[in-house]
Amino acid sequence: MNSSSRDLQYWLQYDRQHIWHPYSAIGVDLPVFFIQSASGVRLKLADGRELIDGMSSWWSAIHGYNHPVMNSALQNQMQKMAHVMFGGLSHQPAVELASRLIELTPDSLETVFFADSGSVAVEVAMKMAIQYWHASGKPGKQRFVTLRNGYHGDTFGAMSVCDPVTGMHTLFEQAINKQYFADAPTVPFGEQCHESDIASLRTILKNHHSNIAALILEPVVQGAGGMRFYSADYLKQARLLCDEYQVLLIADEIATGFGRTGRLFACEHAEISPDILCLGKALTGGYLTMAATLSSFEIAEKIQSSSPGVFMHGPTFMANPLACAAALASIQLLLDSSWTERITQIADRLEQGLAPCRNYEQVVDVRVLGAIGVVELKQAVDMKSIQSAFVNHGVWVRPFGKLVYLMPPYIINDDDLAALTSAVCSIVGDL
């Protein structure tokens, strides 16, 4: 313990001075915890403490960590090959995964582009939309409309359709393209949408459709842009408006895909088909980085009908076989489980467990949808103190801004879930 704890201090110090973390700075005094291993819903710290995971490593580890079925799928694939280039070559994991995704997603989606991260899948979707309209004789349709409070990734194209305030558009003003922003939907999930709710989107489409390639949105749950849930009926109306104004609909289900909202894909709440669909995060069960962009045959055929006759994108690690094998195993595990009942139960427990927060003066709202529980505060949290408070409570919860939220692995049991919600209530109550 003594010599290893000295090592640990060294590693943490080196990390602080040399390694970027997500949305971080070098050399700052914010806690970073060293993880030794992870298994089931438990993250084991280097000092021996164990934390119950409330984050699924950002929506991804839906089956928890170190899952025997996932591990053996990767070991099997590893015996064959870890990677081969995808230019001119193909392999069974890619073909099987593509057919699985096509079978599970809405009917109109028939082609798959494997990307290496969610942001890249969004870039690919945006480029597909532009190439589609270019090939359709409408090269002026190169801009996008999206919803305020959205989040679509950190690369330049994706950043251009993130919320302009939280997405720091002023900082990158000259570097990112100007897009159109409709008011964020305010109609709650489960309610019908009125004309006034959709008016902002309608006005933009009406006035600018001739230079808009697509509407991009996160169906039903706006994730990193505010953890907001909105009416599925809004989504239905948005689909109709896209048809009316000849604009493609890109559904970014990178966060919502694979059961998190209670349906396999959030678009199912509205019974709509997008023209282009982005998947990521839980796609590989949290094992490897991979994302996918699906589109209709119509889009694919149009793109190749015109110069240059190909779609202009091709990542080095496209369709990485290990990632495909992980995704296939993860999807099979999900479908073989009674995930719909489990998500409903998790939703009930989150609702009950977080309900006491409603009485706290510092809380604005408590909301639950599927396996997502959110406590919205009046003021942004102090990351340094709250992060350590959660760890001292034996749970891994990572708030951002005014939001303290839980999205545990689906395999979590009721006791561990109760430990998560009681830690949230206790820490939020003490703020």
Ligand X SMILES: *Cc1c(COP(=O)(O)O)cnc(C)c1O
Q: Which residues of the shown chain bind ligand X in the complex (CB under 6 A)? A: 117-119, 122, 151-153, 218, 223-224, 252, 254-255, 280-281
Q: Which residues contact 34 (CB under 8 A, 6 or more apart)?
A: 8, 11, 12, 45, 46, 47
> Which residue is it, tokens 């990572």?
398
Q: Which residue lies nearer to ligand X by CB, 283 or 347?
A: 283
Q: Which residue lies nearer to ligand X by CB, 50 or 268?
A: 268
DSSP 365: E
Bond before 308 cis per omega within 30 degrees: yes
Cα–Cα distance, 405 to 398 (Å, whole number): 8
DSSP 67: -
Smallest gap from residue 124 Cβ to ligand X (A)? 12
Evaluate whether 277 touches 249 at the Cβ level (below 8 Å).
Answer: no
* Pair type for strands 221-222 and 276-279: unpaired
Sheet containing 395-396: which strands, arranged edge to edge?
35-39, 42-45, 50-53, 395-396
Cα–Cα distance, 204 to 211 (Å, whole number): 11
State phi, psi for 265 to the nearest 5 degrees: -130, 145
Q: Which residue lies nearer to ligand X by CB, 126 or 417?
A: 126
Smallest gap from residue 82 Cβ to ligand X (A)? 20
281 part of the active site: yes
Evaluate whether 25 touches 14 at the Cβ level (below 8 Å).
Answer: no
360 part of the active site: no
Given 23, 29, 336, 415, the catalytic residue: 23
Q: Which residue lies nearer to ligand X by CB, 200 or 256?
A: 256
Smallest gap from residue 60 Cβ to ligand X (A)? 9
Cα–Cα distance, 63 to 371 (Å, whole number): 13
Shortest-Cβ-distance residue relative to ligand X: 118
Question: Residue 394: which H helix or E strand, with range?
Answer: none
Q: Which residue lies nearer to ligand X by CB, 51 or 283?
A: 283
Q: Which residues contact 161 (CB under 8 A, 6 or more apart)?
A: 122, 126, 144, 146, 150, 152, 179, 216
Evaluate whether 148 touches 183 at the Cβ level (below 8 Å).
Answer: yes
Smallest gap from residue 407 Cβ to ligand X (A)? 11
Q: Which residues contact 341 (CB under 8 A, 6 or more apart)?
A: none
Q: Which residue lies nearer to ligand X by CB, 283 or 428?
A: 283
236 part of the active site: no
Smallest gap from residue 286 Cβ to ligand X (A)? 12
Evaluate whether 361 touches 370 at the Cβ level (below 8 Å).
Answer: no
Q: Which residue lies nearer to ligand X by CB, 172 or 297?
A: 172
Smallest gap from residue 386 Cβ to ligand X (A)? 22
Q: Which residue lies nearer to ligand X by CB, 24 or 92?
A: 24
245 part of the active site: no
Smallest gap from residue 295 Cβ to ligand X (A)? 17
Given 65, 132, 151, 230, the catalytic residue: 151
Smallest gap from residue 307 Cβ to ligand X (A)? 30
Q: Which residues contact 335 (CB under 8 A, 6 or more apart)?
A: none
Given 163, 252, 275, 416, the catalytic residue: 252
Cα–Cα distance, 317 to 285 (Å, whole number): 18
Given 116, 127, 163, 281, the catalytic residue: 281
Q: Which residues contact 2 (CB under 8 A, 6 or more apart)?
A: none
Q: Which residues are catalytic?
A: 23, 151, 252, 281
